[in-house]
Copies of this chain bind each other. A is one copy, B any other.
């Protein structure tokens, strides 16, 4: 039985002189509140404040990082109890799924998943031994007992985690009822929504036509015309803003943008509406809408986020049986210089606009994103995203971005997660890695220590608040 130890110096550079600087920087930022301006937690949790069920339901089944790794080593998702779309029987006992995770937990050595989950086990649940076959049951039981207590209900954990503000992400078609309920409650936690219009912008979305109809109903606008469609967006943005939203989010296969003449945009919208889109029309329309959203942002002050470059649902068998977000999304090469040009030509020089760029292609950090964000007033670079939200990923990000874009064209940290309990762990990893990076600059006499303290505060707290206008 191995002890689970969260070493106080974890993730800091090993060189003792540098580590001293890292420690000093980290000590100052570790207690700062968590600002979480982008993520995918479920507002229902905080609206109902119902207890979480059990370890497997809470920590394993919604975590696509865990599912993908286990599947890659031949463990069927069925055995992990992931529900199927086609009703195929799956493992019904969450404890059995948890045991499978424990048995294969060694697969996660060297991955951020283990950093996060170890933190959750050790810090949130006070567990002192490594998860493995021997400890699986005891840990499962201990978590179950904790979850049954009030201290482990969503709101209590939110407060305990020191979260200053948490943004969720909703479709324009969402009623925002849970956000409504949170606001109406006596609880003071600040949970805001984010406008993510992909379901009514991306013609490749299943059910796109039905979504448009629903948008029309919700807003009373005639989405049969491009003008009416844009008005409908404006109304929903306004509705979202009244529920705290300060930002929009756009998940696109590429960073292509467009700025068509009005008649061309109308014609394009018409083709798409009638289901007569030509090759490239869907991508062109998504690109056109990015520029339209940017113009609306100039009006209503919403910060834009562009998450570009994922091949979603690469595995058709997983999609058919288990649905989306089960670990079958794969990054593809990115291109931003030519892709963003139409949007930048239109609004790139506007200091009042903030467009935060995210990529899964690290090659564009130094080549494209840093040079672009280091020039255009409207651009900021989002933190390392998804597969790169990891110690090495964060190190590469700072090393490749900073020299051209500086620290102040980056946007602070995002945890970007569904895994609520891991939020502090993720921020902690980011804070440690940023402090480690700054410590190296100090140790190499590339930054004064007092400057490093200021920058550390900004990277872990200030920049997220300012960039997202929170």
Contacts and interface: CB of A to CB of B under 8 A. Distances in A.
A71 to B, nearest CB: 6
Contact of A18 (B14, B371, B393, B440): B14
A206 interface: no
A305 B402 CA distance: 28
A379 B408 CA distance: 39
A116 B12 CA distance: 29
B110 A402 contact: yes
Interface string A327-341: 111111101011001
A444 B409 contact: no
A20 B364 CA distance: 35
Given A7-B445, A317-B349, A390-B403, 15 more contacts: A11-B446, A72-B373, A72-B375, A72-B405, A72-B409, A107-B408, A110-B441, A110-B455, A111-B403, A314-B375, A329-B371, A330-B371, A331-B371, A333-B367, A391-B444
A123 to B, nearest CB: 15
A370 B360 CA distance: 12
Contacts of A112: 403
A450 interface: yes
A363 to B, nearest CB: 5
A137 interface: no
Given A17-B16, A311-B337, A400 B392 contact: yes
Contacts of A130: 448
A10 B446 contact: yes
Given A69-B374, A109-B407, A377-B74, A115 B361 contact: no
Interface of A: 2, 5, 7, 9-18, 68-69, 71-74, 106-112, 115, 130, 311, 314-318, 327-333, 335, 337-338, 341, 344-345, 348-349, 351, 360-363, 366-368, 370-377, 379, 387-388, 390-393, 396, 399-400, 402-409, 440-441, 443-448, 450-451, 454-455
**Top 4 A-B residue pairs of the complex, sorted by shortest distance between their CB atoms:** A74-B351, A14-B443, A10-B445, A7-B445
A327 to B, nearest CB: 6
Contacts of A69: 374, 406
Nearest to A336: B330
Contacts of A314: 337, 341, 344, 372, 375
A43 B333 CA distance: 41
Contacts of A379: 72
Given A72-B373, A348-B315, A444 B13 contact: yes
12 contacts: A10-B445, A68-B374, A72-B376, A72-B377, A109-B455, A111-B406, A315-B376, A330-B337, A330-B372, A331-B368, A332-B337, A363-B367
A372 B327 CA distance: 10
B351 A366 contact: no
Contacts of A107: 406, 408
A318 B349 CA distance: 9
